[in-house]
Every structure is written in structure tokens, then in C-alpha cells.
Amino acid sequence: MYEDQTYDIILERMMNRVSDKIDKRPSSPVYDLHSSTAIEFQILYIELEYLIKNSYGDTAAREFLILLAKDRGLSPEPATKAILQGEFTPTNIDVTGKRFNIGEINYVVTEQITPGTYKVQCETEGVVGNQYLGDMIPMEYIDGLQTASLTSVLIPGEDEEDTEVFRQRYFDSFNEQSFGGNHADYMAKVKGIEGVGSCKVKRVWNGDIRPADMIVSTVVKNWYESIISTVPAAVKPWLTAVYNAAKDKKLTVGGTVHVVITDSDDYGEASSTLVQYVQQTLDPEETAGEGYGLAPIGHVVSVASASPVSIEVKTTVTFEEGHNWSNTKAAIAEAVDAYFLELRKNWSETSQTIVRVSQIENRILGVDGVVDVTGTKLNGTASNMTLTEFCIPKLGGVSA
């Protein structure tokens, strides 16, 4: 913007304003005075350009973007700690509160799931907590402990929100008004829950049920009256409540919301622990629809994980001299898996995911040592593979 406002140009402009009757040669008092001033003016122009650039969302540096976003009620999602599953033997030892270590990462046991199985929290925030599984070393002596290991990631840890991701969320706040449980509101709230990578939100998801089908008919009324006195005491209040609601036409499919999520680690299948955590955060099952979570009053939310579909890729590859299937297979699998990861990341933006043979062959061609790719099949079929709305691709293997 002010690239042309250099020291030489500023000095020349200043000297042109001085009368020619005065000595303006280098080393003269007037020249020396204006020379030092021109340097300061150049610095001011540089700082002015910096301030202008940081006044706009598309060019602002992170610290200024955060200040701009505060006007929209936004701030970067903070880093979170991973929750993992730990297995300990013997199972009769209580290790709650004990600290363990793998390499440079420390963990603390927070909660028992079942005897010998516990939730373990990484003490370091970020994705680093998702990266290590295996045997742990206790940080203090635990009498009788035989083995301690991490077996799986329950809720992935996340780094602080990336600047460009946060910038896009800032722009989205102008285009999509989040309010009162609309689509944008659900998307923003669910993605903001720790451990969630992406999500799809479907309202009136059980809309295949007609409200008229739930109205009590004469046959149903006669059946209810004939059996209500014989049902177990524990069942009677529930059956009575459902019957009266149907009779009074209070049963409806309105307000039902289906939320399907992936985890934030590799945008893959969410663990049952993460699904339950999101369920409790949005709409606790014990008070469904009563507004005790993030969901508005009257919204009954059902949370589930996206379903992974295993895809076996079989292809014929021509190699350069010195390369063959055995020394290139790992790189080929990595390239295909990277493509599948892209599809999973974009899953929430599409109604269905299409795994394309052409894209797979293009990724394989980019592997060092590969000359040509032909005859690619997905699960035995030589065509693109279309996944349904709530399914995500998972690499089941690559073979020749």
C-alpha cells in the first residue's frame, strides 16, 4: 500500500519544499535535519500499513484477528487434553488419581470405567495426547501393580484452533446467523465441543413417522383398558404416560434432532465415550427435551457416530526401474489414506461422499517411483463408490 513511500522519495519531497536559496547539499544542516526526519516518516508509513492490514479480517495477524472477532462474540477454541482408556492389572487395585508416564508425556487416571479399566487424561494439552499408546510407567510406586497400558483414545485432544480455521469461522459469522437452535447454531455448538471433528445435523430425523399414526384408535383404547391393570408396577406409569400423550394428541415428531459426529483426531469414527459426552453436553438423556444442555427447550437430540465403510483398493501399478510393490506399498497406502482423510474432513459439507477411482489413481501417480496406474477397483468394483449420508470412508488396505 505504501511501498512507494521510501526514504529517498520522502526526503526528495521534503527537500523540494525548501527554498533553493538555502543550502540543501548533503551534509548541510538542512539536509541532515530532513534526512533523519525522512527515516522516521518511512517507519511511520510502515507501521501505518501494518495497522491498516490488521484492521481487516482477511489480512489481520492472529492477535489482531482475535480482537476483531471479539466484536462477533468469537474467540479461538482452546487446546484440550486427550482422554484415553487405560488397562491395569490386577483389576482389584484402585489407581484413580495415580500418575503415569510414556516418554515425555505424563498422564493421570481420572475415573474407573470397569474393574481394571479407567479413563486416563493426558496432562499435556493438544494432539500430542492422542499419539502414544502402549505400556505406561507409574511415577510413584504402586503396591501390587503388574501392568499399566493405554489401549485407545476415547476423546481426542486438540490443539488451539488454527488461525485460518478461526478466520473462516469469523467470516462465517457474517453469513450464517446462529440463533435459537437453527442449523448454524447446532453446527457451531457441536463443532465447539472438545473431541468433535465434524458433524451433520438433521432435524425431524424421524419424520418417516406420521403424527396421525400415534393417535389412539378405538382398538388401541380397548386394548389399553383391558391390560393396564395387569402390567408390572414398574411399567404401568410409563405406559399410562405414553397412552395419555397419544390420546391428547401431544405426541409429535417436531423438535427431534439427529446429530452425527466424527472425532477430531483423524475425522474417523467417534468412540462411544465421545458420543455419550456430546449427548450429555447437548441434551442429557435423563432430561431429554427439557433444555438442560446446549439444545433449546423442546429439542430432543440423538447423537451418533458416523459409520466407517472399509474400502479395499486393488490396482495395477507400473514402476520405474529400482522400484517395486514391496518397497512402494507403504507410500501408496499413505497417499490413498490421505485422500480418504480429505473426504472425511469435507464429509459435513456434502449430502453424500463419493470415493472416486480417478482421484485414487492420481494420488498413486504422485508417489515416487510410480509410472502408471490401471485397473483400480474399490471393494472389487471398477467404479466410483458412493457412500450414504452418514457414512465415511476408511482404508481397508491396498493390494496389487
Local confidence band at 13 (pLDDT 50, 70, 90 cut-offs): confident
Count CB neighbours of 372 within 10 A: 11
Per the CB < 8 A criterion, the answer to whether 344 and 263 are in contact is no
Per the CB < 8 A criterion, the answer to whether 354 and 374 are in contact is no
- Higher confidence at residue 204 or residue 140? 140
Per the CB < 8 A criterion, the answer to whether 267 and 198 are in contact is yes
Local confidence band at 208 (pLDDT 50, 70, 90 cut-offs): low
pLDDT in tens, 365-400: 999 999 999 999 999 999 999 999 999 999 999 998
In this prediction, residues 118-134 reach a mean pLDDT of: 96
Least confident piece of the model among 32-46, 205-219, 250-264: 205-219
- Higher confidence at residue 28 or residue 87? 87
In this prediction, residues 169-190 reach a mean pLDDT of: 87
Residue 218 has pLDDT above 70, yes or no: yes
The pLDDT value recorded for residue 245 is 87
The pLDDT value recorded for residue 206 is 64
The pLDDT value recorded for residue 253 is 67
Residue 327 has pLDDT above 80, yes or no: yes
Q: Which amino acid is at 224?
A: Y
The pLDDT value recorded for residue 36 is 86
Q: What is the mean pLDDT of the chain?
A: 92
Q: In terms of CATH architecture, what is 176-206+254-305?
A: 2-Layer Sandwich (3.30)
The pLDDT value recorded for residue 14 is 84
Local confidence band at 18 (pLDDT 50, 70, 90 cut-offs): confident
Least confident piece of the model among 85-99, 198-212, 290-304, 384-398: 198-212
Domain boundaries, the chain: 7-53, 81-155, 176-206+254-305, 211-247, 307-399
Local confidence band at 205 (pLDDT 50, 70, 90 cut-offs): low
Cross-strand bridge partners of residue 314: 377, 399
Q: Which amino acid is at 267?
A: Y
Q: Percent of the chain scored above 70 by pLDDT? A: 97
Q: Percent of the chain scored above 90 by pLDDT? A: 74
The closest of 386, 210, 189, 173 to 303, measured between CA atoms, is: 189
H/E/C letters for each residue in the chain?
Answer: CCCCCCHHHHHHHHHHCCCCCCCCCCCCHHHHHHHHHHHHHHHHHHHHHHHHHCCCCCCCCHHHHHHHHHCCCCCCCCCEEEEEEEEEECCCCCCCCCEEEECCEEEEEEEEEECCEEEEEEEEECHHHHCCCEECEECCCCCCCCEEEEEEEEECCECCCCHHHHHHHHHHHHHCCCCCCCHHHHHHHHHCCCCEEEEEEEECCCCCCCHHHHCCCHHHHHHHHHHCCCCCCCCHHHHHHHHHHHHCCCCCCCCEEEEEEEECCCCCECCHHHHHHHHHHHCCHHHCCCCCCCCCCCCEEEEEECEEEEEEEEEEEEECCCCCHHHHHHHHHHHHHHHHHHHHHCHHHCCCEEECHHHHHHHHHCCCCEEEEEEEEECCECCCEEECCCEEEEEEEEEC
